[in-house]
């Protein structure tokens, strides 16, 4: 409160708004990652086979990725705060229903609904953030921090889910998104500013339907390659169907007067490289969590709690790097920080590929150095790439930018992870992703961008 008034200082309101929006964004990715550690327990309790577990694990990400572009358009058309509120209501309702699921069908439906809510919340939160920080410089600093929130949420999901499973039940993991969504709903009208809707924008329902169906089908086809051969109908049909629908989407968007995704939006060189960096960084992080979690529990016979504890240094390095990303971007520029982050993350993955999967190499020498390097690089690359991906975006397309950015974050692990694991084993996948990050760093270093 101010000394003689009843309103809080503007800077304080900005901090509260960013804290609320950032907590929501981190929770969306927490919800994606939190089911990985307790998945074997869920399978035993509900009698699920491996294909069923794969589908349950991917269900949240399928609707999240598939509906993000539509969520971005809804945020731009109806206003960020209104879309955020609607998405939070759906996320809270689904999170409240999931713990009481009597069987796999109900739990699967709840996870799909969670993903749909997240697809509306993620771009809407970025649209509100643009109103909180309307000045380009302030918005850029906010995005530098925003970029690392998702990987922090993923790390928290892996850490806390192990603790929750060890002390309570896997059903309690759904309490986190429920509490955060309910808290955000209670505080939104007080802490978040009103956002102006753009009612002149068409919804482009044809484009939304094609994009959602195409991305969801193609993602599902890639996910099930873990349990089915590429030549099987269960893989080829969704992959081919998804490819046809995505091609039809691109064709209709090229001809539409007000497209859901203007194709030229992706052709900006700065944005294309930034989205590539985000997709690769997300893939490297997700792959590390999955590969090392399985290795530690299956090969080294570690408990879920001890496995979660192994990622604590990763979280600490991530937080430390995230706090320095903003000042470094102010001093050296987003491109330089992104380049350095990609190179550091690539080195971390290469080190993990060389040492982490050998059971006889101690944790302190085999896993810890690579985890710290990967975390430091990922936070920097996410922060810098988020700034580059949103630089020069007009306010009326902030929701679109949020949808595209989060799509890269979701589709990167889904597409690249499935392809790499099919081509080779765990060590190959880690090393190949590390090489891809190093190549992306080189491209960022050599790129020249026009002044936005």
* pLDDT tens-digit series, residues 197-244: 777 776 778 888 888 888 888 878 877 776 677 788 888 898 899 899
Q: Helix 368-390 and helix 312-332: axis angle, to 10°?
A: 40
Neighbouring residues of 103: CB distance < 8 A, sequence distance ≥ 6: 46
70 and 156 both lie in a single domain: yes
C-alpha to C-alpha distance for 111 and 310, rounded to whole angstroms: 27
**Range(s) of the domain holding residue 245:** 205-259
Last residue of a domain, one of 259, 276, 295: 259
The position carrying tokens 């709840």 is: 110
For the CA atoms of the chain, what is the radius of gyration?
21
Last residue of a domain, one of 259, 280, 296: 259
78 and 209 both lie in a single domain: no
91 and 418 in contact (C-beta within 8 Å)?
no
| Residue 5 in domain | no
Neighbouring residues of 445: CB distance < 8 A, sequence distance ≥ 6: 335, 339
288 and 358 both lie in a single domain: yes
110 and 185 both lie in a single domain: yes
Residue 299 confidence (pLDDT): 79
How deeply is 2 buried, as exposed, middle or buried, from its count of CB atoms within 10 A (0-12, 13-18, 19+)?
Answer: exposed
How deeply is 317 buried, as exposed, middle or buried, from its count of CB atoms within 10 A (0-12, 13-18, 19+)?
Answer: buried
C-alpha to C-alpha distance for 306 and 297, rounded to whole angstroms: 9
170 and 254 both lie in a single domain: no
What are the tokens at 399? 């929701």
Last residue of a domain, one of 213, 233, 259: 259
C-alpha to C-alpha distance for 376 and 374, rounded to whole angstroms: 6
The structural domain count of the chain equals: 2
Please tell me the pTM assigned to this model: 0.80
Q: Is the dihedral of CA 82, 88, 90, 96 positive or negative?
A: negative
38 and 60 both lie in a single domain: yes
Residue 63 confidence (pLDDT): 86
Residue 448 confidence (pLDDT): 64
The position carrying tokens 């094609």 is: 210
Question: Which one-letter DSSP state was computed for residue 297?
Answer: I
35 and 171 both lie in a single domain: yes
| Residue 3 in domain | no
| Residue 4 in domain | no
249 and 227 both lie in a single domain: yes
| CATH code, domain with 367 | 1.20.1250.20
What are the tokens at 39? 């998945």
71 and 121 both lie in a single domain: yes
350 and 251 both lie in a single domain: no
246 and 372 both lie in a single domain: no
3-state helix, strand, coil split of the chain in percent (to 5) is 80, 0, 20
116 and 240 both lie in a single domain: no
| Residue 298 in domain | yes
Which of helix, strand or coil describes residue 268?
coil
Low-confidence residues in the chain, pLDDT < 70: 1-10, 50, 202, 226-227, 417-418, 421-424, 448-452
Q: How far is CA 189 from CA 33, 185, 192, 206, 402, in A?
A: 29, 8, 6, 33, 21
| Contacts of the segment 329-333: beta carbons below 8 A, 24+ positions apart | 329/140, 329/141, 329/144, 329/383, 329/384, 329/387, 330/141
| Residue 374 in domain | yes
The position carrying tokens 């030549």 is: 231
Residue 160 confidence (pLDDT): 81
| Residue 389 in domain | yes
How deeply is 244 buried, as exposed, middle or buried, from its count of CB atoms within 10 A (0-12, 13-18, 19+)?
Answer: middle
C-alpha to C-alpha distance for 175 and 161, rounded to whole angstroms: 11
């Amino acid at each position: 409160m101010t000394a003689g008034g009843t309103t809080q200082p503007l800077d304080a309101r900005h901090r509260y708004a960013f804290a609320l929006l950032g907590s929501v964004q981190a929770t969306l990715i927490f919800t994606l990652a939190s089911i990985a550690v307790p998945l074997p327990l869920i399978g035993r309790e509900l009698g699920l086979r491996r294909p069923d577990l794969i589908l349950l694990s991917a269900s949240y990400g399928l609707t999240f990725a598939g509906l993000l572009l539509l969520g971005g358009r809804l945020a731009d058309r109806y206003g960020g705060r209104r879309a955020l509120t609607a998405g939070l209501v759906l996320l809270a309702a689904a999170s409240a229903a999931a713990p009481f699921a009597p069987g796999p069908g109900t739990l699967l439906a709840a996870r799909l609904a969670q993903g749909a809510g997240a697809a509306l919340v993620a771009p809407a939160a970025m649209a509100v953030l643009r109103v909180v920080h309307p000045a380009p410089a302030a918005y850029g600093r906010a995005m530098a921090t925003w970029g690392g929130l998702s990987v922090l949420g993923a790390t928290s999901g892996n850490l806390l889910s192990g603790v929750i499973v060890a002390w309570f039940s896997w059903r309690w993991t759904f309490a986190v998104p429920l509490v955060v969504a309910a808290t955000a709903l209670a505080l939104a009208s007080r802490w978040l500013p009103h956002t102006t809707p753009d009612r002149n924008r068409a919804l482009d329902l044809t484009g939304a339907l094609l994009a959602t169906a195409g991305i969801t089908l193609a993602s599902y086809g890639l996910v099930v390659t873990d349990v089915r051969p590429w030549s099987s109908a269960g893989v080829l049909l969704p992959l081919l169907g998804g490819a046809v629908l995505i091609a039809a989407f691109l064709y209709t968007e090229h001809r539409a007067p007000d497209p859901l995704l203007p194709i030229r939006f992706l052709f900006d060189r700065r944005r294309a490289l930034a989205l590539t960096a985000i997709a690769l960084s997300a893939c490297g992080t997700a792959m590390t969590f999955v590969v090392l979690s399985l290795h530690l529990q299956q090969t080294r016979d570690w408990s879920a709690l001890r496995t979660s504890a192994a990622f604590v240094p990763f979280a600490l390095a991530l937080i430390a790097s995230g706090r320095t990303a903003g000042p470094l971007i102010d001093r050296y520029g987003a491109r330089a920080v992104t380049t350095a982050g990609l190179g550091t993350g690539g080195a971390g993955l290469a080190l993990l590929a060389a040492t982490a999967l050998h059971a006889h190499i101690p944790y302190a020498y085999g896993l810890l150095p690579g985890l710290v390097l990967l975390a430091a690089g990922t936070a920097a690359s996410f922060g810098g790439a988020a700034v580059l991906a949103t630089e020069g975006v007009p306010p009326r397309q902030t929701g679109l930018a949020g949808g595209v950015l989060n799509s890269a974050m979701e589709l990167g692990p889904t597409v690249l992870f499935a392809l790499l694991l099919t081509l080779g084993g765990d060590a190959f996948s880690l090393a190949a992703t590390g090489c891809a990050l190093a190549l992306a760093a080189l491209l960022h270093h050599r790129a020249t961008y026009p002044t936005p």
